[in-house]
Amino acid sequence: MIGKLFVIATPIGNMKDITLRAIDTLKDVDVIFAERPRHSLKLFHHYGIKKPLYPYNDKNWQRQIETALKLVKDGKNIALISDAGTPAIQDPGYRMVNYFRQKNIGVVPVPGPCAFVCALQASGLPTDRFVFLGFLPRSSEKKKKILKTYGSLSATLIIYESPLRVKKTLNDIKDSLGEREVVIVRELTKVHEEFLFGTPSQLIPKLEKIKGECVILVKKSD
């Protein structure tokens, strides 16, 4: 019997934001591939999950995909998780999924938290059409090119950003798209969760001491 790959969403902050199915599946699989195993141990200790952990990240994904494939061919069921949220969204998880699909090996999604979905649903911006851009290039020139390309669409734009670069990105949004309505979300589901609303010019002065990874949402083109 060939095993399966279970792609499992884990909490993005609050440890209670995990499904019963996710907990059961993590306890049932034979091996878990995690972005940073040490980071995931807190969650596993909390829910009594005791399984072998393998690192899987941008640096070792090629080697670890082969390790995962061998385990599955030996009949082991494996799980793939990221540090937080839904694997394969803005991380190398999609490479393992794609590889296994090409090998006709079963891939089972176990849904749960996703940062950009949480931010969108509570932002108040239109949700009928949206474009997830993930982390944009650090170069302002490249960033502005992408913003101008997608900014003409009638869709809410969603961006992930480091707190160290959020002010620069807001300036790039202002230069590319003008003073559109923007929502900045930080520390989702955590104690200091915060939603900031306004135009780029209104928000930039408020970002001197911002902490935590941010989700930036930009109102769609009129």
Walk along the chain (222 residues) and give the pLDDT tens digit of each residue. Answer: 899 999 999 999 999 999 999 999 999 999 999 999 999 999 999 999 999 999 999 999 999 999 999 999 999 999 999 999 999 998 999 999 999 999 999 999 999 999 999 999 999 999 999 999 999 999 999 999 999 999 999 999 999 999 999 999 999 999 999 999 999 999 999 999 999 999 999 999 988 777 788 999 999 987
Q: Are residues 122 and 202 in the same domain?
A: yes
- Which residue bears the tokens 């969403």? 9
Taking the C-alpha atoms of residue 198 and residue 205, their distance in angstroms, rounded to an integer, is 11
Taking the C-alpha atoms of residue 65 and residue 1, their distance in angstroms, rounded to an integer, is 19
| Secondary structure letter of residue 204 according to DSSP | G
31-34 and 156-161 as β-strands: parallel, antiparallel, unpaired? unpaired
Give 19: exposed, middle or buried? Use CB within 10 Å, 0-12, 13-18, 19+: middle
Q: Are residues 53 and 131 in the same domain?
A: no
Beta carbons within 8 Å of 164's beta carbon, 6+ residues apart: none
Q: Are residues 13 and 95 in the same domain?
A: yes
From 110, 145, 167, the end of a domain falls on 110
Q: How much is the pLDDT for 210?
A: 75
From 89, 110, 131, the end of a domain falls on 110
Among 196, 142, 131, which Cα is nearest to 168's? Answer: 142
Please list the residues that pair with 77 across neighbouring strands: none
Q: Are residues 144 and 71 in the same domain?
A: no
Q: Are residues 81 and 161 in the same domain?
A: no
Cβ neighbours around 76 below 10 Å, total: 17
Q: Are residues 91 and 121 in the same domain?
A: no
Q: Are residues 130 and 53 in the same domain?
A: no
CATH of the domain at 153: 3.30.950.10
Helices (H), the chain: 20-28, 37-47, 61-73, 93-102, 115-121, 140-151, 166-177, 200-203
Taking the C-alpha atoms of residue 208 and residue 146, their distance in angstroms, rounded to an integer, is 26
Q: How much is the pLDDT for 208?
A: 76
Give 166: exposed, middle or buried? Use CB within 10 Å, 0-12, 13-18, 19+: buried
| Count of the separate structural domains present in the chain | 2
CATH of the domain at 29: 3.40.1010.10
Q: How much is the pLDDT for 128?
A: 95
Q: Are residues 213 and 192 in the same domain?
A: yes
Q: How much is the pLDDT for 222?
A: 75
Q: Are residues 121 and 104 in the same domain?
A: no
Q: Are residues 121 and 213 in the same domain?
A: yes
Among 118, 109, 115, 114, which Cα is nearest to 8's? Answer: 109
Q: Are residues 105 and 138 in the same domain?
A: no
**202, 182 Cβ separation under 8 angstroms:** no
Pair of tokens at residue 133 = 């851009």
**pTM confidence score:** 0.93
**186, 174 Cβ separation under 8 angstroms:** no
Among 170, 105, 183, which Cα is nearest to 140's? Answer: 170
From 70, 93, 110, the end of a domain falls on 110
Domain extent at residue 213: 115-218
